[in-house]
Amino acid sequence: MLPQMGYFSVIRQLECVANSRYVTEVVCNAVPPRNRSINAALRLMQRITGLIGNLEVSIPIPRKKKLKKIFDITFELCKVLRERKRKTLIELLSTMTCLGNRTIQCPIHAGFYHAENITVVESLPPVLTESDFHIRFNWFLPKVASVLNITAVGRLYEIAKEHAKKRKYL
């Protein structure tokens, strides 16, 4: 029997900060009791035609109180959704942009958007190791303003290692 490959994350801290000129009623939280997924909701106040995203993933440097950036990408949301060239980014965005009964399309129309049980870590390739992580996801209008900033702090666990720990103690 092959061990189950992949990862899961546990979110310890989650914060969403919105620019009230563009977004109201913003709510985001980790889903208890395991904190492995996220619920999010927001009301977009106006139509947006060009939205830039910046995703940074950092891990702590052992014995130092610093973070090391392991992933940093900036992209134009509509272009990525339209061209569908970056597979990992497309998978991540597909998970995040299927909000409730609506899939985000460009231009993004004003209205209420919500998503439940968003998980993105399970689709990552098995090349990472268990570690703490710090994720910043910033959405902004080019040369205009920040729209929404999402910060998550948590830990990435290997599924196979967790199964082995359970068997050891049973």
**Token pair recorded at residue 133:** 């992580």
Strands (E), 21-144: 23-30, 38-44, 52-60, 67-76, 98-99, 102-103, 111-118, 131-141
Which residue shows structure tokens 């106040």? Answer: 45
Measured at the CA of 95, the angle between CA 141 and CA 32, to 5 degrees, comes to 105
**Which tens digits make up the pLDDT trace of 93-117?**
666 555 555 667 788 899 998 888 8
Measured at the CA of 123, the angle between CA 122 and CA 126, to 5 degrees, comes to 85
- DSSP code at position 61: P
pTM equals: 0.81
Q: What is the C-alpha to C-alpha distance for residues 104 and 101, in angstroms, rounded to an integer?
A: 10
H helix intervals, 21-99: 77-83, 87-97
Tell me what the mean pLDDT of segment 38-55 comes to: 91
**Which tens digits make up the pLDDT trace of 141-151?**
998 999 999 99
Tell me what the mean pLDDT of segment 25-45 comes to: 92
* Domains of the chain and CATH, by start: 7-169 (2.70.220)
Q: What is the pLDDT of residue 115?
A: 84
Q: What is the C-alpha to C-alpha distance for residues 86 and 68, in angstroms, rounded to an integer?
A: 23
Residue 19 pLDDT exceeds 80: yes
Q: What is the pLDDT of residue 7?
A: 78
**Which tens digits make up the pLDDT trace of 53-96?**
998 989 898 888 899 998 888 988 888 777 766 655 666 666 65
Q: What is the pLDDT of residue 2?
A: 36
